[in-house]
Amino acid sequence: MKIRRVTGIIAIITLLVSGCGNHGIVIDPGNDAVTTNESVTESTVTETESSEKKEDEAKVPDRFEFNPHVYSPTLAQDISQEKWDALYNLCDAVRKGESTFECANQEAYDFAILDTTLANFFPAASIRVSGESDDGSVPFENGVGKIYYKMPVDEFVAREAEFEKLIVDILNNNLETDDTDFEKCLKLYLYVAENYDYSEDQDFGGDAAFYRTFIDKKGTCVDFAAVYSYLLLQVGVDALDIGCDAQDMCHAWTYAVVGGKAYHIDTTWALKSNFEGVDGIYLDYFMMSDEGRVDSGCPIDNLTMQPLPQFFVSNSKLKLLAADETYSFPSFSIFVSLDEENKIVHYLDMDGNQCEMKYAD
């Protein structure tokens, strides 16, 4: 059976409000003839509709735009606002090729310019900008942090602009601006599954691995987890790449919060290229609970988190819990289609039977 994919058709949904005219009688003072005000009413209604249509279009954008200030409420439990502000100041500065940015203190500077911070929240800058002086100057003093570029500044700015365009194209080719958070998670899960390949033989070319995975569509589990998380952050879904580092299992995936509830989403095991001969994408590793993650062979008692300065979650204030199983799919479930109007995911079970899962907004 041919499996249909979700396609990202960008549409503006507007509410055209029509009204009933008051067909009263109008006396023209310059003419004794009696006329109706139908034409006046039609004009008024048209103007009202046009005004309300413009209002609705202003509320619902027709395309996603690049967000240089992605944010994770989960990580913010352990990262102060001063550090987020410093990061955003740095992002704004490097987009323009500037050499300094404001930050409250040394700790904020160190967090903002850290390679792992940038890899997760501003990928094109990771490794390509640094807080290590190559000219003997002091990197941070008096509320100002210096930026040391590891490539010609004009080339960096052009490269960053190309990366931003890539991200915007991915979002607009796969999502609609009125998608729910669940739909964003599913559509981007399908996008990664369809377009990326597992490979341990990458030529990074001096770039950070996460950035290079966006460009080459190749990587390992930690790269896919970061790529997927970053795309979700771009569209307002709280998501972070996490992993287990046990003796018999070292693996990474995404921790995402949807509708106030957290889930584990593993895009590595969704990759279509992993399953030759399978005409479809498995949903087993989409929206898993803690129990489901452990049953899959990944311990969750000492999780790692790339963008967390402490690296191990156990060294932070964070409590990562995923108890909900509302959207857990049975083993060997294969995606068929998404009915967004009726909020239904159609899939095949392991016996090839047509099944459906209803989801909320």
* Residue, of 206 and 164, whose pLDDT is higher: 164
Q: What mean pLDDT comes out for the span 258-282?
A: 94
What's the pLDDT at 245? 87
- For 175-358, CATH number out of 3.10.620, 1.10.1060, 3.40.630, 3.40.1710 equals 3.10.620
Give me the phi and psi of 221, to 5 degrees please: -55, -45
Is the pTM above the cut of 0.85? Answer: no
Q: What mean pLDDT comes out for the span 312-325?
A: 95
pLDDT tens digits for range 330-349: 999 999 999 999 999 999 99
The pLDDT of residue 15 is above 60: no
- Mean pLDDT of the residues in the chain: 86
What's the pLDDT at 226? 97
DSSP for 121-168, written as a single string: HSGGGBTTEESS-SSS--SEETTEEE-EESS-HHHHHHHHHHHHHHHH
Q: Where are the domains of the chain?
A: 25-59, 75-156, 175-358
Least confident segment among 183-192, 195-204, 246-255, 280-289: 195-204
* Residue, of 203 and 160, whose pLDDT is higher: 160
The H or E element containing residue 118 is helix 115-121
What's the pLDDT at 204? 76
* Residue, of 1 and 136, whose pLDDT is higher: 136
pLDDT tens digits for range 50-78: 555 555 555 657 899 999 999 999 999 99
